Amino acid sequence: MNLDVSTVLITEDEIKKTVRRIAQEITRDFQGEEVTFIGALTGAFIFMADLVREVDLPVTIDFIKASSYRNKTTSDGNVQITKDISFDIEGKNILIIEDIIDTGNTLRKLKQHFLLRNPKNIKLVTFLDKPSRRLVDIESDYVGIKIPDEFAVGYGLDYDNKFRNLPYIACLKFL
Ligand code: IMP
Ligand code: MG
């Protein structure tokens, strides 16, 4: 099987503009506050790095890892936290940063996980959104770009842990 990533879904330029727009929304909504960004590994690592540099607020940063993969292209409802954050979030503004919201299982689990620790506020931030695939009732508060039901790779997103370093987002074709 050949994997083809020549179909560009989102260009580098669109990525930059979208990150800047989300950062402006966050900066405006949290004026005068401190915000803790928690990135979901591994997919969010590039988006997180770009986003925090565009946000004009005092920020703290950490990463969490959740895994759920049944196979290489879809997650199931059984999401496990495999690496947790290491500080107290009580009374803090939390932003959970994800590469994509697909079925919604991962973000539902992460949101529940943090809600138990009494933060002041939790909002979800996803670069991509595949609304047609949603299985659970959850939406992201800040969405970059909505995409159709295609398998996206690049800009942190992977297939079998590959293609994360593409500077654009491609639609993966199985030839
Ligand atoms: P969910 O739990 O189904 O919402 O899926 C969330 C996770 O599935 C994301 O963090 C991604 O790691 C992965 N995922 C879902 N769709 C895609 C895709 O199109 N490309 C790459 N990874 C994806
Ligand atoms: Mg992921």
* pLDDT digits 0-9 by tens, 107-166: 999 999 999 999 999 999 999 999 999 999 999 999 999 999 999 999 999 999 999 999
Distance CA 8, CA 61 (A): 31
- For residue 66, how many other CB atoms are within 10 A of its CB? 20
Q: Is 102 a catalytic residue?
A: yes
Q: Are strands 93-101 and 35-41 parallel, antiparallel or unpaired?
A: parallel
Average pLDDT of the chain to the nearest whole number: 95
pLDDT at 70: 58
Residue 105 has pLDDT above 70, yes or no: yes
Q: Tell how far the Cα of 172 is from the centroid of ligand 1, in angstroms.
A: 13
Angle between helices 12-29 and 45-54 (to 10 degrees): 60
Distance CA 26, CA 103 (A): 24
Q: Which atom of ligand 1 is nearest to the CA of 69?
A: 8
